[in-house]
Amino acid sequence: MYVIDDSLTDGPSPTSAVVGRAQGFYMFASLKDSALLVNMNVVLTEGKYNGSTLAILGWDPILSPVRELSVVGGSGLFRMARGYVIWKTYLFNITTGDAVLELDVYAMQVKKCSVSN
């Protein structure tokens, strides 16, 4: 199991603006494939989403060029969010094990509906 607490930036460059943190864990989850179980919170720290989070969960076959994981919840402006994340490996350093991932997040907020008689 590997614990993560990584910077989220608005681009792949090391000088890109930090907009939050990716916090959680991943572990290898397959005997046959290079695949991970990912459990991650996207913790946003800038702009109108400051203080809001998205909960991401899913299977990540790391050798696939494009992977899809689930948005299973959130807080703040994303309370009870549902959706998905498409992510791709932008850069991988085999010597250090460091990677840069590109995340495209598609999330909807579940709205409260009240019914009265």
Task: Give the pLDDT of residue 14.
Answer: 82
Task: Give the pLDDT of residue 47.
Answer: 94
CA dihedral 68, 52, 17, 103 (to 10 degrees): 0
Task: Give the pLDDT of residue 114.
Answer: 67
Task: Fill in the DSSP letter of residue 78.
Answer: G
Can you give the pTM of this predicted structure?
0.86
- pLDDT score of 116 more than 70: no
CA distance 18 to 60: 24
Q: What is each CA distance from 76 to 5, 55, 84, in whole angstroms? A: 20, 12, 18
CB 71 within 8 A of CB 107: yes
pLDDT, tens only, 27-47: 999 888 899 999 999 999 999
